[in-house]
Amino acid sequence: MKHIIFGESHGSAIGVVLENVPAGVELDMDFIRSELARRAPGRNALSTARREADEPRILSGVFEGKTTGAPLCAVIENTDTRSKDYSKLKDLPRPGHADYAGYIHSEGCGDYRGGGHFSGRLTAPLVFAGAVAKLILREMDVTVSARISNVAGIPDPTPEQLEEAVLGAKADQDSVGGCIRCTVEGLPAGLGAPDYGRNVEGIFSQHLFAVPAVKAVGFGAGFGFAAMRGSEANDPFCWEGGEVRTRTNHSGGVNGGITNGMSVEFEVAIRPTPSIAREQDTVNLATLENAKLTIEGRHDPCIVHRAVPVIEAAAALATCELLGL
């Protein structure tokens, strides 16, 4: 099952096309809407004030509530855009954003409004695709779940700590990042391969790094392995419940690029939102001179809480690929 996401942040709509979707999957639209609502903007002071209904409209691939096996296409309209807020970004790329790289990539012809195709807005159709993947995995008793594991350097923050860190950064005209830990349960041992293209960690990473704000991925103990000894890092085997298990899961359910029967676990690092209200240094691409930039418009002081369903969506799509769906 392959997918392609289309559209721009301030275009008329964004959407996704999924190919090779199994026929006969009951498309639970209430579940899909609930997944999109978890990611949607404009819900509280921790997010951008932009408000979008994020109501998906199915164009093809579904008949009488079930997938047909034909390409599944869904679109989500953009209804709350303020393109004038981005007029200066035509020539003044935002530090940390994809503005400059995208300008070069598109030979100056890209849609810069709201970040265009590089915007986090494009994660909405990704969540739609991931919700479809979750519905497929549900029939196989495979589940994907994620949680915030760090915000602004605070491990496992309480809701109050998260709010304090995010609103504090917002008051300083700044932003914060964090980490999300994700678990895939129900996968059997033996999936994947050690080589390129079939490696479990490689498949997941390919999907995860397609999420714009992800800058690092670590499986199991991740970077923590660097501080461990082998006696600490190894996961002892045991016979439990009629199958081989491990007493710990530092390896994140993967050995040699292959699932070992434990939960596949990984953590991703989400960078602080690049669009901040503080004055920053940039280059005027029209005059090729150093310049100053103060970003206007509506932006998230933190996207970690909104990114949780996005990471789950990417993981669900990766899991489907790993299972050969």
pLDDT digits (tens, 9 = 90+) for 125-168: 999 999 999 999 999 999 999 999 999 999 999 999 999 999 99
Q: Which of 82-91, 94-103, 228-237 has the highest mean pLDDT?
A: 228-237
Close Cβ partners of 88 (under 8 Å, ≥ 6 residues apart):
293, 296
pLDDT digits (tens, 9 = 90+) for 233-267: 999 999 998 999 999 999 999 999 999 999 999 99
Q: Alpha helices of the chain — where are they, by DSSP H?
A: 29-39, 99-105, 123-138, 159-171, 200-208, 230-233, 304-322
For the chain, list the domains and their CATH numbers.
2-322 (3.60.150.10)
- Over residues 63-75, mean pLDDT: 96
Is 57 annotated as contributing to ligand binding? no
Is 298 annotated as contributing to ligand binding? yes
pLDDT, greater one: 65 or 81: 65
Is 117 annotated as contributing to ligand binding? yes
Is 119 annotated as contributing to ligand binding? yes
DSSP secondary structure of 121-167? GGHHHHHHHHHHHHHHHHTTT-EEEEEEEEETTEES--HHHHHHHHH
SS3 193: coil
pTM, to two decimals: 0.92
pLDDT at 80 over 90: no
pLDDT score recorded for residue 23? 96
Q: Which of 140, 314, 75 is nearest to 217 (CA)?
A: 314
Kindly indicate the confidence band of residue 85, based on its pLDDT and cuts at 50, 70 and 90.
low
pLDDT digits (tens, 9 = 90+) for 274-298: 989 899 999 999 999 999 998 877 7
Tokens of 165: 């860190």
SS3 315: helix
pLDDT score recorded for residue 19? 96
- How far is the C-alpha of 67 from the C-alpha of 58, rounded, in Å? 11
